[in-house]
Amino acid sequence: MSIAMDVALFLHLTAVAVWIGGMIFAQFCLRPSLSDISPQLRLPLIGAVFGRFLDWVGVAVLLILVSGGFLLVRFGGGKAPWPLHAMAALGVVMMMIFGHLRFAVFPRIVRAVQAQKWPDGARAVEIMRRLVIANLVLGIVTIAIAVYSRGF
């Protein structure tokens, strides 16, 4: 592999670690720790935490897309082994889910907090939780496929 490919793979894997690690933290550490807190405190906190985390994921998504696209071209583009295309396809699905979460669901939480409509906020948080779980499962499957692709 060339230095450019090493750098691309480094950026790719670091961004994947930020995205997947952040989702694990949100789902399995933050969420259970907030379950006993009243919605008036919980929802603004979730809004503030995810407002920052989603910015990090936005940067991670851009890095994954650019580095992954670069690597895919270097691995033969259309002629690259099929697991790499599977990774790209799953990655794009994950990015679309992220886009929906970031630009449709998260603003609902922000609006609900501003209007102090706690039940609306709680519903949006539940949708966000499901989308995060979906992306977590897809992300782990994608990592498994990435490892599998080494045999090709």
Spatial contact of 125 and 107, defined as CB atoms under 8 Å apart: no
Residue type, 89: A
Residues in the chain: 152
Q: Tell me whether residue 109 or residue 142 sits nearer to ligand HEM (CB atom).
A: 142
Please, which residue, 39 or 81, has the CB nearer to ligand HEM? 81
- Nearer CB in complex with ligand HEM: 20/109: 20
Q: Which is nearer to ligand HEM, 34 or 143 (CB)?
A: 143
* Closest distance to ligand HEM from the beta carbon of 122 (Å): 29
Distance CA 93, CA 106 (A): 18
Residues that bind ligand HEM (CB under 6 A): 9, 12-13, 16, 20, 64-65, 68-69, 71-72, 75, 84, 87-88, 91-92, 94, 139, 142-143, 146-147, 149-150
Least distance to ligand HEM, CB of residue 148, Å: 9
CA 93 to each of CA 60, 133, 138: distance values in angstroms, whole numbers, following the listed order: 15, 14, 9
Q: Taking the complex as a whole, how short is the minimal distance between the CB of residue 2 and ligand HEM, in angstroms?
A: 12
Q: Where are the beta strands (DSSP E) in 1-152?
A: none
Smallest distance, ligand HEM to C-beta of residue 131, A: 15
Q: How far is CA 21 from CA 35, 53, 97, 139, in A?
A: 21, 11, 17, 10
